[in-house]
Amino acid sequence: MNETPINKKTDKPLSNFLWHWFSGIIYKRHSFLHQLTLKKTLNLGHSIFSYLFRREQAQYLPPVLKVDLSPLCNLHCPICVHATPKEHSNLLSQQHFDSSQVMPFDQYKKIIDEVKGKTQAIYLYLMGEPFMHPQICEMSSYANDASLNVLVSSHFSFKFPDKKIAEIANSGITHLEVSMDGATQEVYEQTRVGGRLDYVLDNLTRLCAYKKAHNLRYPKIEVQCLAYDHNRHEVEVLRQKLMPLGIDMFTTEEGDVGSWAELAAENFNITANKPDMAIPSCHWPYAAMVIKYDGDAIPCCLFNMGKQFAKEPDRAMTLGNVFEKGVATVWNDKPYRDLRRYVAKPSLVDSETELQNSYCYGCPQLSVGTIRETIASDSPEFNIRTNQ
C-alpha cells in the first residue's frame, strides 16, 4: 500500500526543525525579552531544568500560555479544522462550532491573575480566529497590564473601522502575526478560503499608519506567508508590496500539507516507538499550557486538534479544567505528570499500556508510523497541486 509518512514535518531534516524554532525565537524575541524580570527568569530557568532533568513534578508555572479565546473562524483554510470536509474526511467531518464558544472575560481574568509575575508570554489563539472574540482588545490589555507579552495570529480579513484599528494599536498586543499567502486574490484564496486580500491590505495600511502617527513601538507587525508550489512566485511580490507600508517583518516558511484535524492516533498505523533519548522527546509539557475557550487544558497545538472541536468531544483528550481547578493544580495533576513521564521515555507505553489512551499516544514526536491512505489523499496540497 502506498502510505504517506505521518506528518510532513517529520520528513524535514533536523536542521530545518532547528531553523524553524530558532527563527521563530529570533523574529518574536521581543515577546520573550520585553518585560523580563528576575522572577520570570527564575521560573523559565526552573522549566528548562525540569525538562533537561526529566522532572515529572513542575514546581513552577508554565512560562508560556496559549489561550484559545474562541475556536470560531469565518474562513475555511484547507489545512485547518475549519476546512470543508471531503468525502473521506474522518475527524474533519465531525467538527462543530457555534457562537457560544467564546472564553468568558471573568474566567480569563482569573487565569491572568494566577500566572501574573511568573508567565512571560501569552498567545491568544489556538485553532480559531482571535478577532472573532468581541473583547480581544480588552483581554490583551488585561494581560499586558499584568506584564505578560501578548502574541496574536490573525487572518486580518475583516472590514475593520478606523476605531477598531486604533483599539488594536493600543491593545497591548506585543506581536501581531498576519497570515497572507499570496499577492493576488486568486492565489491568496487558495489557502485562505473565503478571505479578502483587499481587506487585509487596507487594515495593515491603516494600522501601520496609526502606529507611525502615534510613534508606537508595539505591536510589532509580522506578515507570515506560507510557501506552497502554487504561490511561490508571489512571495517576493508580496514582500515588496508590504515592506513600504511599515510592517516590522515579512517571514516565510514551507506550508504544512494534509489536514491538521486528522492528526490523531486513530488515523495512524503506529509501527514503533521513537527511541528513548537523554532528554525528553517533546518540550511542550514542560514549557507551555494550552487552555481552550471552555477552560480545558491540553498540552500542545500540534496533535489531536480534530478531537478538540468534534461534536462529541473526547474528554479523555484533555488534562483537566483550569476554570475549575486553576492553572497550578492542573499543571501538576496526574494527567500532566503522566505525559511528562511519557515524553521523557516513549518506550514506557509498552509497560504502561494505559498510556495508549493518553493525549500524546500516536504523536510523531513519540511514535513511528504512517497515516491512513484515504486521509493522506484528502490533503489540500494534493488538491491544489492537481488543479494546476
Ligand X SMILES: C[S@@+](CC[C@H](N)C(=O)[O-])C[C@H]1O[C@@H](n2cnc3c(N)ncnc32)[C@H](O)[C@@H]1O
User: Which residues are at the interface with ligand X (CB under 6 A)?
Assistant: 73, 79-80, 125, 127, 129, 153-155, 179, 224, 226, 253, 255-256
Distance CA 371, CA 270 (A): 9
Is 343 a binding residue for ligand SF4 by CB under 6 A? The answer is yes
Least separation in angstroms between CB 212 and ligand SF4:
27
Decide: is 80 part of the binding site for ligand SF4 (CB under 6 A).
yes
Q: Does the footprint of ligand SF4 cover residue 331 (CB under 6 A)? A: no
Toward ligand X, which CB reaches closer, 115 or 132?
132
- CA quadruple 237, 175, 16, 378: dihedral positive or negative? negative
- Nearer residue to ligand X within complex by CB, 45 or 134: 134
Q: Does 123 bind ligand SF4 (CB under 6 A)?
A: no
For residue 205, is it left (φ>0), alpha (ψ between -120 and 50) or beta?
Answer: alpha
CA distances from 170 to 3, 140, 198 (A): 49, 10, 23
Which of 62, 63, 172, 285 binds ligand SF4 (CB under 6 A)? It is 285
6 binds ligand SF4 (CB under 6 A): no
CB of 160 to ligand X, least distance (A): 15
- By beta-carbon proximity to ligand SF4, the closer residue of 128 and 172 is 128
Pick the closest to residue 191 from 236, 123, 256 (CA basis): 256
Burial 91-126 (b: 16+ CB within 10 A, else e): bbebbebeeebbbeeeebeebbebbeebbbbbbbbb
47 or 179: whose CB is closer to ligand X? 179
CB of 333 to ligand X, least distance (A): 27
Which of residues 30 and 274 has its CB atom nearest to ligand SF4 in the complex? 274
From ligand SF4, ligand X, none, which one binds at residue 253 (CB under 5 to 8 Å depending on kind)? ligand X
Q: Which stretches of the chain bind ligand SF4, using CB under 6 A? A: 73, 75-77, 80, 82, 127-129, 155, 282, 284-285, 299-300, 302-303, 343, 359-360, 363, 365-366
